[in-house]
Structure 1
Amino acid sequence: MIKRNKILLRNIDWGIVTIYIFIIFFGYINLYSVSSEKADKQVVWILLSFFFIFFVFLFRPVHYKYFTPFFFLITLLLLIGVFFFGKNVNGSKSWYVFGPISFQPSELSKISTSLMIAYLMSQYNNKMLFYSCVIFILPATLIFFQPDPGSSIVFFSFLLTLYREGLSIYFILYFLFSIVLFVLSLNIPPWIIVLFLFIFFIFFLKKKRKNISFVDLFFYIFLFFIFSSISIFSSFLSQKFLKKHHRDRINILFQNEFDKKYRENVGYNLLYSKTAIGSGRFFGKGYQKGTVTKGKFVPEQHTDYIFCTVGEEWGFIGSIIFIAFYLFFISRIYFLSERQKDVFGRVFGYSVGNIILTHFVINLGMVMGIFPTIGIVLPFFSYGGSSLWSFTILLFIFVRMDASDQTNFI
């Protein structure tokens, strides 16, 4: 047993572990610059995350595969239960609170959904592509209705995983187009969008009339009805389930945070986030010398907007180095995923990489005004125990799988 553990430790990818520790440490010192009180709490979350790593390594990959269906079912029940027993935080009923302890079941569901898709694909290969889509749509839908649209969007990163396993690129393009229709439906009456789609399809069919078969015609008509339904349904969902501040955060992308309508409410964070990043210039103002950071002008700077501290105090150079480290970290996950001998490990690894990549891209896009503010944290970097633990468990389950894969231990 001792020899086996030594071999397992020797085959751990210490490159990923090193970058993980670097990101956590760099996140801590930036958090300390924002709030020393929250940084002290973060130390506790960090130390506990090492306990979770130890706990993860107690199980072998075969155990994760065996318990995956049960774990997925439990997280679905937790997502349903939050509607009845959850606490409303920032307009979303997405938290369980037990005294001083609170957690979001949506964080657990990222782990269970990753495992469940890996389980299905390892059992049935690409025959389960459609059912795998259903698997991630279930938790995404429940989370959307909390309402927590930001967290629900992350689940569509599984489309990238399934694309690696053979899913057509058109499914991803259809999804992106559906997102565009959803955003447009917030400001444009659905009948105008449907009319535009109808005109587009008429011109499209007219152009292809010589080479189009009956089956193709049926498919294009089906697409028209699907996209029209999405537009109408999106308008209904946005009015019925999204709060006003959710809609305003999307609308601000098409207007201006300096507008009086947004400057003192939903545009306030974005305004000062961009101010902080821009004021850092090339080399930054220096550690703990950021005036916007010290003035606490950005209310959520310790969580969603933590990157603006990097921009202000470390400047363009520091930001680029940090981004490069992060992208290398994600690239390494993809590399390890591709070399897995077991389908379960490969699919799970790609899911881990895609979830982290989605969080990373959306979070940086938020603080720079490219994407709306939708409550997406920067993995391993933002303040909070719930997100740090879930990402740590997600990552180190894969590190454990990879180490076992290299030693042929199951």
Structure 2
Amino acid sequence: MTKRNKILLKNIDWIVVIFYIIIIFFGCINLYSVSPEKAEKQLIWILLSFIFIFFIFLFQPIHYKHITPFLFIFTLFLLIGVFFFGKNINGSKSWYVFGPISFQPSELAKISTSLIIAHIMSQENNIENNKKTLLYISIILVLPAFLIFLQPDPGSSIVFSSFLLTLYREGLSISFIFYFLFFIFLFVVSLNLSPWIIVLFLFIIFILLFFFKKKISLIDLFFYIFLFVSFSVCSILSPFLFQKFLKQHHKDRINILFKNEFDRKYRDNVGYNLLYSKTAIGSGKFFGKGYQKGTVTKGKFVPEQHTDYIFCTVGEEWGFVGSIILIIFYLLFISRIYFLSERQKDVFGRIFGYSVGSILFIHLIINLGMVMGLFPTIGIVLPFFSYGGSSFWSFTVLLFIFVRIDASDQTSLI
């Protein structure tokens, strides 16, 4: 081993790597309880991931900057090509299948989008004051998210909202994030309330803003009008887009939020997963039933328990205590990534690190929300924990590109 490689290994943040190994290990244990066959396959994918890690460390950080634009364009071609050459699985045409191997390009999109955003933003000091850069970033985020939404895979497209945390760290006003979240809120609420009532409500709010604000410039006036029109159009188009682009099972999963899984219309179909997921988690009580002693898990009452609903196994067999410990491990893991991001001398590394941490964080929040009925079932896996080769490899590549960048950054004299 050369001196340079010894220095590189010494500078690897082993705390992050240890968190990674612990979460993987605990994930495999729980997956084995659900399905020993799938746990064996997962172990194979974990071992193969070491090949990816090896190649990641062969490249210098500068190489990632150079290939970023080409990788992003290649990803867009894959996302478009899946409409023509992809295979329809579970109602979404979002997979390439080559014999026994399947590949989901939306997973690659997370990596390429993280890299290109870091590449572009690292060349600017403040994105809020640079409207041109902000426009580029918006297009970069919307393109893959929109293509993924059309597959339709609304869950994976929502993951791209995680980049708002990265943009906020780099100077984006909190107002932009608020507007984005309000758009989502209006879209969902308009599905169950008359859009025209919402438009009237918005109109009253904007009138009150004008009434209480003493002085309004012409720019402010145009801005408020733009917001009112945008929010109103969102409310009016929401039911149309909901009916036109989403499959029936996607619609039902969203409607459950306004009803409940006990509703006769949903109890025996799309609400079935959520009903038994809550049952499994609740039955674990404080300390759990014990490893491989979960009756709901053993009875295989929860479909997709090895992927989207793997957390309900933790709740049933390890109880409240085990669930909280796992969540704490995830939060410490993600916090460590944010900490490493802040210490980067190179802006590219900081932005990319924040993107990695934010993607893991949004996956964690949405997945936990799904299994507890706080969020619709949209196919968001628990990182490094749920069964699946494509998702596991994409998270591993994301993480270890950052680990590689961080290790090199610590040897930099900048």
**With structure 1 as the length reference, what TM-score do the two structures score?**
0.97
* Partner in structure 1 of residue 192 of structure 2: 187
1:366-404 per-position Cα deviation (integer Å, ceiling 9, x unaligned): 001111111000000000000000000000000000000
* Partner in structure 1 of residue 221 of structure 2: 217
Q: Determine if contact 1:95/1:103 at 8 Å carries over to the other structure.
A: yes
* Partner in structure 2 of residue 373 of structure 1: 377
Stretches of structure 1 that go unaligned for 5 or more consecutive residues are none
Indicate which of 146, 157, 165 corresponds to 2:162: 157
Deviates more, 1:118-127 or 1:259-268: 118-127
Q: Determine if contact 1:186/1:247 at 8 Å carries over to the other structure.
A: no
* Partner in structure 2 of residue 345 of structure 1: 349
**Residue 284 of structure 1: SS of its match in structure 2?**
coil
**Residue 125 of structure 1: SS of its match in structure 2?**
coil
Residue 62 in structure 1 maps to residue 62 in structure 2? yes
* Partner in structure 1 of residue 233 of structure 2: 229
Inter-partner Cα distance in structure 1 for 2:339 and 2:13: 11
- Deviation of 1:123 after TM superposition, in Å, equals 2.2
Deviates more, 1:18-27 or 1:183-192: 183-192
AA in 1 matched with 2:106: S
AA in 2 matched with 1:38: K
* Partner in structure 2 of residue 261 of structure 1: 265
* Partner in structure 2 of residue 91 of structure 1: 91
Matches within 5 A, 1:93-172: 93-126=93-126, 127=130, 128-172=133-177
- Deviation of 1:260 after TM superposition, in Å, equals 0.7
Q: Determine if contact 1:45/1:385 at 8 Å carries over to the other structure.
A: yes
Deviates more, 1:242-251 or 1:105-114: 242-251
Indicate which of 239, 244, 248 corresponds to 1:244: 248
Instruction: State how many pairs are aligned.
Output: 409
**Residue 305 of structure 1: SS of its match in structure 2?**
coil
Q: CA RMSD in A?
A: 1.3
Inter-partner Cα distance in structure 2 for 1:102 and 1:310: 28
Inter-partner Cα distance in structure 1 for 2:76 and 2:367: 26
1:130-178 per-position Cα deviation (integer Å, ceiling 9, x unaligned): 3212211110111111111110010011011011000010111001100
* Partner in structure 2 of residue 315 of structure 1: 319
1:235-285 per-position Cα deviation (integer Å, ceiling 9, x unaligned): 221111011111111111121111111100111000000000000011000
Change (3 A) 1:132 1:316: same
* Partner in structure 1 of residue 18 of structure 2: 18
Inter-partner Cα distance in structure 2 for 1:342 and 1:136: 23
Question: Where do 4+ consecutive residues of structure 1 move more than 3 Å?
Answer: none
**Residue 125 of structure 2: SS of its match in structure 1?**
helix
**Residue 254 of structure 1: SS of its match in structure 2?**
coil
- Deviation of 1:409 after TM superposition, in Å, equals 8.7
Inter-partner Cα distance in structure 2 for 1:153 and 1:331: 22
- Deviation of 1:364 after TM superposition, in Å, equals 0.5
- Deviation of 1:201 after TM superposition, in Å, equals 1.9
Inter-partner Cα distance in structure 2 for 1:315 and 1:50: 32
Inter-partner Cα distance in structure 1 for 2:13 and 2:119: 23
Inter-partner Cα distance in structure 2 for 1:258 and 1:143: 31
Inter-partner Cα distance in structure 1 for 2:216 and 2:115: 42
AA in 2 matched with 1:150: G
Deviates more, 1:328-337 or 1:316-325: 316-325
**With structure 2 as the length reference, what TM-score do the two structures score?**
0.96
**Residue 93 of structure 1: SS of its match in structure 2?**
strand
Inter-partner Cα distance in structure 2 for 1:216 and 1:335: 38
Inter-partner Cα distance in structure 2 for 1:323 and 1:246: 27
- Deviation of 1:318 after TM superposition, in Å, equals 0.7
Deviates more, 1:107-116 or 1:97-106: 97-106
**Residue 97 of structure 1: SS of its match in structure 2?**
strand
Indicate which of 292, 295, 304 corresponds to 1:291: 295
AA in 1 matched with 2:410: Q
**Residue 57 of structure 1: SS of its match in structure 2?**
helix
**Residue 410 of structure 2: SS of its match in structure 1?**
helix
Inter-partner Cα distance in structure 2 for 1:188 and 1:90: 29
- Deviation of 1:70 after TM superposition, in Å, equals 0.2
Inter-partner Cα distance in structure 1 for 2:134 and 2:208: 33
